Structure 1
Amino acid sequence: MKKVLSMFLLMILVIFTLTNGQAIALDKVETSNGGETLSFFKSIELIEEEKSYIPIWRFLEAVEGELASNSKSLTIIKEDRWLKFAHDDQTVETSSGDVHQEKVFFKDENIYIPIKYVAKYFGYDVQFIQEETQPSTNPLKGDLENDMIPKMEQEVVVKVEEKPQPRKVYLTFDDGPNEHIDLILNTLAEKQAKATFFMLEPLMAKYSDSVKRLVAEGHYPALHSVTHDRNKLYYGDPLNVAKEMEKTRQTLLELTGVDSKLTRVPYGSKPFMKDPLRNGLVENGFKMWDWTVDTVDWKYQKSNPRMIVENVKAGIENLKNGNEPIVILMHVNKGTASVLPEIIDYIHGLGLECAPYDPNHHTSVNFWQDDRL
């Protein structure tokens, strides 16, 4: 009986579901030759250059693997084996000492990996299935001996009850990157929080490793101009803002492969961004965010960082019962970095989620209430 039961349990295929009900990954299943197969629903697959890619976290969840990353690479680890993907030259190094061409890429806030290559290296086969199948009974219940044969052909579906999604808070950081960026990124990683960074073009070039790191760690890179000079941006040619944002966009694209169209203009959009300047952004496909919570950290970061925390609390308190997006304005500086852990703990304590900007679900947040942006 024990032997039969053991064989039966090895054949059970468990489907996990996201909170929205969409099946995402299937557990490991032992095959007749002693190997294991990972199954994924076809809806999560992306095809690039005739290869199948899936989000890295889906693979890690299925095999209980680990991820290590820095500004230059990301490494998938399972037990004593690992694969290290280099961001710059699209190579992969294996724990066996081999190096060859293989890439990962970023899309829709996910890191995508070549699933068949990765799975094979860690000892798995991969299959994609079209849709979920519903068993008539649960083979984990009832008489295993009497019902053994028909149930071995079925898939066991384990449903996860839908849970309400926590309200999102958008931590946004202006004027970086600079020497304080890695401290902020370390805190975000430790607290499992995501953010959006509005960056200056010359500083992106200077701190390119930090830009690549923040993208690799799931934060959203956005545009904050080249000069940060109100006279150069807001006077003269009405396309000045759009031109500076385009140059910033091109530099970011060259560094990371991310084509970001989200901008925040220096000093905020009022009173400077009158119709001609906003028209220039719209005509060039840009979006524009201001903020709904001002920490005034530029003023207090040296003299009284505690005020930054208090301003966050007051701002969220004013917004938490409404529908307006909670977009918090901060800057990449030492004072803000020092109180960021407390700010994130406060947000999480309210049951809110620190999320990055999602270009696929843009929400208009600008002082002019211009829905085009």
Structure 2
Amino acid sequence: MKKYDIFNKAMRKRILGVAAFCFLYIVLALRPLSTELHLTPEWTEGITKVQGGEAKDAIPFKLGQSMGFFTPEGKIINLVTYPFKASISDSYYASYSANNTSADFFLPSGEKAGTIKEAGFPFFDEDRIYVFLPGGSSFAQYSNSGARQWLYESYCPVTAFSSSEGGTVAGFADGTLVSFTKDGSVDQKFQPGGSNFSIILGAGISKSGNTIACVCGQKQQRFVVAQKNGEHSKIIFHEYLENDSVKQELVKFNSKDNIVYYGYEGGLGVVDLEKMQSYKLPLSGHVVQIQENEEGSLAFILSRYGKKYTITVIEKFNQSVASFSYNANYSFIQVRGNSLFVGRNDKISKLSVSRK
């Protein structure tokens, strides 16, 4: 009897073990599988057919020698062609010639917003208005009516420029990086150095205005992030880049100011400013645009190699989850909510972004 008792106990333990394993397997199997990102085409419209519509939620576009605004539903509400150069943002647009002495600028509806009574090249960034003055070494910021608010003059050409609601940053050919508060006061000014030849090829400023970043130098090119530390600037992160870029590079902070993206020769660099870690995402061509969705969970990268454009979608700041390429003479992307808008030559398409 004792022998059979021992046998029965062993069998019971084995059965209970198998049952527990089966229970765990069923529970784990019932967990939802990871979803995939889907980009679903919604519509495609040509830009030459002006249909009108409300300018409230209008989205800007610039393709070749045409610019204007369209609605999320695909209606072109404003179309302007220009012979030389133009600038456009969510708030304003203007065209200008090579030797203009003043420039009218307009609202998305086409209504005139004001006149900049000064020679130079207008530049709009959201609702901020700048003019790069003749000579290429000075610039000024203007009010929404076209009145000058402040001016910065330098002896050296501007080679990089960016702005945010927190301020402005500019880089120069001699390797100097300068940031400004909203009223135009110089906040930080220094030369990152660290390379054999000094130049700033790309610059960005955080939404708060407290942090700036740049791609700088030739021969041991670096990416540098700095913050104001009392009366001085403190470099809080830097890294050398494997290959030198000779082009202007895009540098952009995310909406939460905890991530900064930058283009480099061969791809996209991503720096997590909370963990002080960097990641490299190899891309085809040169980074020309970076857009985030409203939640900040996805970033859409537009890169160009000749006439080949590639859109790469990344999440968690360093994981590529989707990409597709197409040929075009010119292109742009815009992101609104869960929609990706892609401009290609003379057409604009909407793709809905979802997980299934």
More helix by share: 1
Structure scoring higher RCO (CA < 8 A, sep ≥ 6) equals 1
TM-score (norm 2): 0.24
More strand by share: 2
